[in-house]
Structure 1
Amino acid sequence: MTYLGGVFQDGKLVIDVSAGPAQIDALRSGYGKASPFPNMVIDNFLSPELTERLSDNFPPPALASVSRISQHQYLKRGYRPLSLGEHPSAELLKAFNSKPVIALMEALTGHQNLVADPDFVGGGFHEIERGGHLDVHTDFNLHPQMRLIRRINLIIFLNREWDQDWGGALELWPSDMRACAVSVLPIFNRAVIFDTGKMCFHGHPAPLKLPKGLTRRSMALYFYSAQTAADNDVGTATNWRNRPEQSTLASKWMLRARRAWRAIGN
């Protein structure tokens, strides 16, 4: 089932929603009941033509807005419109901030009066290299400029080939960090939608075991709404957590080992 398609009109991509009300209602019903926090996984989320266009126009490393080599996010690049210039990926990103996408996110999750982020703070195209990782965390939930509260994440995977032995599954964890509750392989045209909040822990903490020349690619879109009296503990900082088998000291030594491994060209 395809939920979002797209056609070009007058040189611009126009997004259309093709999913029927029955399918959307069924997904929304399951979303709120999902463990460890509201989430859903949808395969074949985009039309084949739109997915291929996103993949074919994935930006090159030279256009990266950010490049992370820290303890918690290692060998990760992010691409946002301001750094993409005239590259086709910039217009593709902006198309996903359109009203049809927002309306679909509201229908699927039950969150209302959502607003897309024109600056893609923390979002956009993401890419992680061989040996890279993203530790389990909760996201910042206060937009630094708009001062709106982040409600949901939409992640669309753009990996044409993926072997589960390579790792890289998106993991959803409960707040007690006892065990991973949901593991989602980043296969082509698979979408993951989930709530953001101080108890919504996620990441892919194990180093990627990719063949040389491949990266883990995705597009991340974040949606916001106005603050309410129920919103507390809001902020612009990411909250990192270690898995049970990790320790801070061990993580630091692992980071040093990975940097040395990268330096010798492996």
Structure 2
Amino acid sequence: MAEVQEAGIMAMLADKISLPASTAELAVTYKEAKPFPHIVIDNMFPDEMLNEVLEEIPSMSNERWVHDRTARTTKSNLRSAVELGEAGYQFTAFLNSAKFLYLITEITGVWALLPDPYMGGAGYHVVPSGGKFDVHADRNIDQVTGLKRRLAMLVYLNKDWKHEYGGQLELWDTKGTHCEAVVEPIFNRTIIFEVTDENFHGVRPVLNQERARVSFATYYHTVPDSAMIPHSSIYVPSFYLKKDPLYKRAAAEIMPPALYRAARWITGRK
């Protein structure tokens, strides 16, 4: 990727990140993106930086993880930001720095962004084999600080990830009726998107039995509106989601997971 040099905040970050265009051009891309404001940037960070962050991920049997296992989501997060290793700590500090906040502001147009050093709901997100995250709109208020969530940034850490492994991020229309964009979770791909009650998204099931889908999430905030009512994730109605026929759902219950995934792949169900 050709690195774009420009005056202003990007000149201060030239040794830390690489952008495919000027922040003014990226701002147009972000604003005009469908189905809601977002931008996907490849190779934004040095590979070496992300390699160190990836290598620090604890074993999934470590007690530092919180495992979320429900009918709607299957993923794991670190229990606290204090559990991050040195590389993760330095990466988080950079993402929450004033320089990076101004960069994100120039791209998204959201001013007075506030970081979250506690990384509430952020940090490593690990979706295991067979895991998913149903289509939803994100929580609007941070549970710890009470700040309003404005932006989400996901940095993918999956090396040699193939389409057939699943785990793609889906961006849905503002009514939550159908998917309009799909993002492959490949290594050093970053997506930034606006958090609102109508910006629905989800994670397709991970189909590779030997791989988990890994990302590093950061949320950015502003002071909340006085009239805001806090809520947790909002899920779309189940009748909008595609369901397997009854016989397939029954097979999923009785067949070994590896055999069931193999059968889905053979029959062309991506």
> RMSD over aligned Cα, in angstroms?
3.3
CA contact (8 A) 1:17 1:104 kept: no
2:234: which partner in 1? 239
- Between the two proteins, the alignment pairs up a number of residues equal to 247
Distance 1:259 1:27 in 2: 49
2:67: which partner in 1? 67
Distance 2:15 2:253 in 1: 43
Of 164-173 and 94-103, the range deviating more from structure 2: 94-103
CA contact (8 A) 1:137 1:202 kept: yes
CA contact (8 A) 2:126 2:214 kept: yes
SS of the aligned residue for 1:223 comes to strand
Distance 2:235 2:159 in 1: 30
Distance 2:119 2:64 in 1: 13
- Counterpart check, 1:91 vs 2:86: no
1:134: which partner in 2? 133
1:219: which partner in 2? 216
CA distance 1:226–1:187, shift in 2 (3 Å): same
Question: For structure 2, which runs of at least 5 residues remain unmatched after alignment?
Answer: 5-12, 262-270
SS of the aligned residue for 2:179 comes to coil
AA aligned to 1:67 is H
CA contact (8 A) 2:166 2:207 kept: yes
CA contact (8 A) 1:25 1:108 kept: yes
AA aligned to 1:107 is E
TM-superposed CA distance for 1:115, in Å, is 0.7
Q: Please give the per-residue CA displacement for 1:145-170, whole angstroms capped at 9, x wherever unaligned.
A: 32211000000000011110111110
CA contact (8 A) 1:177 1:243 kept: no
TM-superposed CA distance for 1:98, in Å, is 1.9
Residue 208 (structure 2) aligned to one of 210, 217, 227: 210
Q: TM-score scaled to structure 1, two decimals?
A: 0.80
TM-superposed CA distance for 1:16, in Å, is 5.6
Distance 1:20 1:189 in 2: 12
CA distance 1:16–1:258, shift in 2 (3 Å): farther
TM-superposed CA distance for 1:91, in Å, is 1.5
SS of the aligned residue for 1:115 comes to coil
TM-superposed CA distance for 1:200, in Å, is 0.6
SS of the aligned residue for 1:218 comes to strand
More strand by share: 1
1:199: which partner in 2? 198
Matches within 5 A, 1:76-225: 76-82=75-81, 84=83, 87-95=85-93, 96-205=95-204, 207-212=205-210, 214-225=211-222
Q: TM-score scaled to structure 2, two decimals?
A: 0.79
